[in-house]
């Protein structure tokens, strides 16, 4: 990035560049967190870092702006270059979700609302979980930061159920017809996929998606048994609860057991809440056409919605198709427009509170 380009950046754009230029893999967010602390302190805002590394800048709790500090691995050289006719910042995290994080920090300073930068979203949402477990007071509204495009408003996410299937069988010659543990695991998963086989016309958001994520199997070290271990995940639409899906998966067990170790409920917010209406008005005021979105993955919004009954949406600049991608980049004009929308939304909600 040339010096001349850097000097032409606004304060908001410099914050974005600084954060994207700072490695912040899950578990290694402290340096990026310090950038946020320095930014808020420079604007005379109270700011502190909690025991797990979350950055808190409490203020007017009519609105809580929150996004995650961590990124996934990926070495993308950080640079600003013309992309599709406009300047864009290339670099890991520029879209997911450092663009949202920086935009929210700027909007929080401009409007005096509360800010929260959380850690670990890309792994286990430990930052968001820590916040709700420490009994933080429920804010008036939550705006969670993830890429939706500056005209997009995300109202729903599927939930998550994750577990480990384990089976063991006696070792024996491969000519024997009886199932071994590996076959037992394969048979269970085939029954699970049949149980959740969707109508082909059903939108993905409304389906239960089943996905094995890891498998180990073979003869034990002592040679006396065959063992199989399979990591599995289910994405859960709002039509189901996580417990519904767990019971249906357990119902397909023949041999073996499943240890269910993670669950996050689905969330679907109404488009008629004050915060959703404020976003539609702000986007139209900025010359955009609001789009209401449902995401097939899971985000920290699910965690907050499981504990707080306030209205919430997810919003942020960037094309979510570039999440975790090798060509991840964020157009700077879109980043700037998203800040304007966030400021407008916060001011509207502050007036109504």
Catalytic residues: 70, 121
H-only helix segments in 225-299: 242-250, 274-285
d(CA 246, CA 321): 30
Q: Are 153 and 276 in contact (CB under 8 A)?
A: yes
Tokens (6 digits) for 333: 């004009």
- Of the candidates 130, 64, 67, 66, the residue with the CA atom closest to the CA atom of residue 96: 67
Calculate the dihedral angle through the C-alpha atoms of 290, 294, 296, 300, rounding to the nearest 10 degrees.
90
For residue 276, give the nearest of 143, 101, 99 by alpha carbon. Answer: 143
Could you tell me which of 272, 269, 285, 263 has the C-alpha nearest to residue 347? 285
Q: How far apart are CA 22 and CA 11, in angstroms?
A: 17
Residues 6+ apart with CB under 8 A from 42: none
Q: Phi, psi (5° rounding) for residue 347?
A: -65, -40
Decide if 131 contacts 53 (C-beta within 8 A).
Answer: no
């Amino acid at each position: 990035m040339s010096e001349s380009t850097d000097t032409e950046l606004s304060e908001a754009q410099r914050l974005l560049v600084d954060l994207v230029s700072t490695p912040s893999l899950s578990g290694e967010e402290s340096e990026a967190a310090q950038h946020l602390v320095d930014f808020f302190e420079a604007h005379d805002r109270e700011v502190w870092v909690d025991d797990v590394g979350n950055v808190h800048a409490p203020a007017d709790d009519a609105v809580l702006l929150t996004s995650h500090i961590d990124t996934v691995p990926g070495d993308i050289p950080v640079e600003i270059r013309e992309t599709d006719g406009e300047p864009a910042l290339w670099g890991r995290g520029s879209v997911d979700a450092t663009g949202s994080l920086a935009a929210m920090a700027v909007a929080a300073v401009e409007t005096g609302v509360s800010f929260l930068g959380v850690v670990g979203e890309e792994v286990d949402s430990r930052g968001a979980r820590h916040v709700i477990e420490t009994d933080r007071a429920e804010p008036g509204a939550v705006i969670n930061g993830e890429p939706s495009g500056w005209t997009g408003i995300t109202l729903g996410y599927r939930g998550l159920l994750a577990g480990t299937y384990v089976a063991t069988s006696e070792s024996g010659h491969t000519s024997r017809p009886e199932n071994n543990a590996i076959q037992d695991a394969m048979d269970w998963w085939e029954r699970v996929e049949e149980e959740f086989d969707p109508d082909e016309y059903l939108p993905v958001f409304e389906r239960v998606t089943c996905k094995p994520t890891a498998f180990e199997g073979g003869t034990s070290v002592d040679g006396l048994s065959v063992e199989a271990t399979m990591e599995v995940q289910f994405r859960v639409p709002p039509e189901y609860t996580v417990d519904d899906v767990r019971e249906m998966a357990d119902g397909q067990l023949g041999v073996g057991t499943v240890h269910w170790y993670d669950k996050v409920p689905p969330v679907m917010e109404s488009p008629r809440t004050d915060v959703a209406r404020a976003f539609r008005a702000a986007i139209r005021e900025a010359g955009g056409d609001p789009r209401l979105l449902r995401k097939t993955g899971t985000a920290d919004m699910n965690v907050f919605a499981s504990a707080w009954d306030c209205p919430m949406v997810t919003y942020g600049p960037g094309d979510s198709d570039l999440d975790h991608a090798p060509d991840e980049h964020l157009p700077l004009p879109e980043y700037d427009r998203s800040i304007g929308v966030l400021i407008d939304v916060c001011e509207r909600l502050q007036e109504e509170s």
